[in-house]
Amino acid sequence: MQNGILPASWQGYTHAALRIMIGLLFLAHGTAKFFQFPLTEYFKDGVPLFSLMGIAGALEIVGGIFIITGFLTRTTAFILSGMMAVAYFMAHAPQSFHPILNGGESAIMFCFVFLWLATSGAGPFSVDTARKV
């Protein structure tokens, strides 16, 4: 008997879809910083590689690609989760206690989705699964 709207047999597909989408969204933050794509007001002039934002951008690009492909997912997701926690407390929390007021909702969401991926792994349709990691 089914307990939800979607059958439990879809769990692997939704796991992979979440991993791929979160990776694509994260990758876009890095490409905005280095390649101005998509062009944003914050990074219209790019960022220097050897700066805090540059290191974040490099982690967003490399980490985003690793998450999308499901390569070294647990380790990558753990590192990215910590990065997003630090980003939240450095950039957002000082502005206001409430995430909706300080613009930190995305940072918190990335942090906890990456934490979940660090514990659950890449799931199906991933390099890790193909390698039996």
Distance CA 69, CA 110 (A): 17
Q: What is the model's pLDDT at position 49?
A: 87
Over 89-129, what HEC string results? HHHHCCCCCCHHHHCCHHHHHHHHHHHHHHHHCCCCCCHHH
Q: What is the model's pLDDT at position 95?
A: 96
Q: What is the model's pLDDT at position 52?
A: 93
The neighbour count for residue 56, using CB atoms within 10 Å, is: 20
Q: What is the pTM (predicted TM-score) of this model?
A: 0.91
Q: What is the model's pLDDT at position 119?
A: 98
- Residue 103, CA distances (Å) to 2, 107, 132, 133 in order: 38, 8, 39, 36
Q: What is the model's pLDDT at position 77?
A: 98
Q: What is the model's pLDDT at position 133?
A: 61
What parts of the chain have a pLDDT lower than 70? 1-2, 133
Q: What is the model's pLDDT at position 2?
A: 62
